[in-house]
Amino acid sequence: MTLLSEDQSVRPQPCRLPEPGKQTDASLLQHSTDYTGSKEGYMESGECAVFGAVEPPRRSRGRLILHGLVMFGREFCYAVEAAFVTPVLLSVGLPRSLYSLVWLISPILGFLLQPIIGSASDYCRSSWGRRRPYILVLGILMMIGLTLFLNGDAVISALVSDRSLRSIWSIVVVMFGVVLFDFAADFIDGPIKAYLFDVCSHHDKERGLHYHALLTGLGGACGYLVGAMDWGHSVLGRLLGSEYQVIFFFSALTWGIFLTVHLFSIPEQPLGKDPSASESSSTSALRLLVSHSNGYGALVKEPVSPTLTAPVTDLRPRSFSALGEANSVTSSAKQPNKEAQKRMTFKSLMKAIVDMPSHYRCLCVSHLLGWTAFLCNMLFFTDFMGQIVYRGNPYADHNSTAYITYERGVEVGCWGLCINAVSSALYSYVQRFLLPYIGLKGLYFMGYFVFGMGTSLIGLFPNVIATLILCSVFGVMSSTLYTIPFNLIAEYQREEEEQLKLQGSNKSPRGTGMDCAALTCMVQLAQIIVGAGLGALVNVAGSVIVVVLSASTMSLFGCIFIAFFIRYVE
């Protein structure tokens, strides 16, 4: 059952199973204890036996960094999209009242299709593994979307001579590219995290996530830095045709190289192939699965024959990602009857979210408020810089002073977003020092409060220097949203597991994936709210200054909610 590798450096520890209450359980315990003495396989805890988890080998630092480089490439492309999607759409003629709708389509698709794609990923039987085929397909879709987004206007201009028809087709092609890129970039994060968790031990998961966070910040900083440079008058700009083609060249090169490196960084065990697992150990794990009851987060399963003598051909490693484990929540052992496989549906996901404990539900609400505030600001910040701070006009002729001024504002906005990415990476380290003094809830409140105050000052005093300085508060919010809610979930579940141990309960612990999936859904729901409402709000107000004021308002509402409704943990 153990996945052997040349970089395995630590011998796995044997499993500590709970005290049995029946004679049959005692025999299973003895069998499991004997089995853990083997060098070939083991379970990492009592919970592992319930989940049928396999502790993978330790990974070297180099492999973890190579694995995390995909986050650098993804965030690089994300930064390019965040910086240029609104200016590009406005430059091809999209009305201001509709430009936020481009952010609406992708999250709706994600909100509805994520459980389906996640379930398909969990049961993929490709010889290349469960996650990498999906990462490859989504990576190719990202590349296609990026190509249409940054080159669609130039291609349509070369093919269509009629001006009105050219404008319509440019809007359609660019919008399709943005939606396709956004859809693929949102979805690829789940398989990437599932891939990391499937092939790494518990200690290496923490190290891997640390490298992911670090490389994400660096990738975003580099992406915004590329966007902040004036490529139109450079040698590359004259050679490739325009500024957007230069940015596409760097984005496609970065994404293609780092995606390839990621896919070959760590070998992945295919589903259905577990050469080191013995039939007896698999049967023992299945017996333990049958003997445990399901808690919150478990999905309704079709009846399975309780025979204990039939061999189980494979035992799937537990996944802890929002996309991976959300579709394999409490029982990750692969059943021999294919029809008995449990599949998460949109209905089961919604039911589990409604039935979750109140403190988890409050965490989801605060996460929704935070992401709504953050997206209000980030998705339209460069447009805010071009129109409000620099007083440019994106609808003016491309050779006019007003449009050139707007482009200059967009470039300076990219510098501001670059400051955001750097401050996010730095603040992730500062959090470690602040945690012992103010705790997770204090860090959560502080992130929302600092962001709310900073965006309100930007909206009230739109000065170039002040705005660039205050861009550092964006990074505080970004780091908070990506870390604190998931740390709170981990602490909540640790407390629940300790309570179960103290009570001597045989009830299985709740699967972590449902909670992560719920938080992921809040991100998509926030994007739906922003896409549906912000464009109309801008149209009513007649100015894009409303985007930063809306971000500030939502963030300060989030502060109040955190103070009164988020449960404190030590």
Range 96-109 average pLDDT: 74
Q: Give the pLDDT of residue 543.
A: 83
Task: Lowest mean pLDDT of 202-216, 237-251, 307-321, name the range.
Answer: 307-321
Q: Which among 196, 512, 183 has a CA at the least distance from the CA of 326?
A: 512
Q: Give the pLDDT of residue 275.
A: 42
DSSP 258-279: HHHHHHTTS--PPTT--TT--H
Give Cα separations from 185 to 119, 146, 199, 367 (angstroms): 18, 10, 22, 20
pLDDT tens for 274-300 read 444 433 333 333 333 333 333 333 333
Q: Give the pLDDT of residue 560.
A: 95
pTM for the structure as a whole: 0.66
Tell how many helices (H) and how many strands (E) occur in the chain.
18, 0
Range 406-420 average pLDDT: 90
CB 187 within 8 A of CB 58: no
- Checking if the pLDDT of 269 tops 90, the result is no
Any idea what DSSP says for residue 380? T
Q: Break the chain down into helix, strand, coil percent, rounded to 5.
A: 70, 0, 30
Q: Give the pLDDT of residue 58.
A: 78
Q: Give the pLDDT of residue 396.
A: 86
Q: Give the pLDDT of residue 103.
A: 73
pLDDT tens for 253-262 read 999 999 999 9
Residues 6+ apart with CB under 8 A from 477: 370, 373, 374, 447, 448, 450, 451, 555
CA distance between the termini of the chain: 36
Residues 6+ apart with CB under 8 A from 485: 363, 366, 367, 444, 519
The mean pLDDT of the chain is: 74
CB half-sphere exposure, 362, CA atoms < 13 A: 16
Task: Lowest mean pLDDT of 52-56, 99-103, 309-313, 536-540, name the range.
Answer: 309-313
| Cα–Cα distance, 149 to 178 (Å, whole number) | 6
Q: Return the higher-pLDDT residue of 206 and 406.
A: 406
Residues 6+ apart with CB under 8 A from 337: 304, 305
- Checking if the pLDDT of 451 tops 90, the result is yes
pLDDT tens for 38-74 read 333 333 333 343 334 456 777 888 888 999 999 999 9
Task: Lowest mean pLDDT of 14-18, 154-158, 327-331, 372-376, name the range.
Answer: 327-331
Range 223-234 average pLDDT: 84
| Cα–Cα distance, 270 to 184 (Å, whole number) | 23
Q: Give the pLDDT of residue 556.
A: 94
CB 123 within 8 A of CB 162: no
Task: Give 477's pLDDT tier (boundaries 50, 70, 90).
Answer: very high
| Cα–Cα distance, 270 to 126 (Å, whole number) | 6
Domains and CATH numbers, the chain: 59-266 (1.20.1250.20), 346-569 (1.20.1250.20)
Name the amino acid, one letter, at 425.
A
| Cα–Cα distance, 41 to 34 (Å, whole number) | 11
Range 206-216 average pLDDT: 80
Any idea what DSSP says for residue 504? T
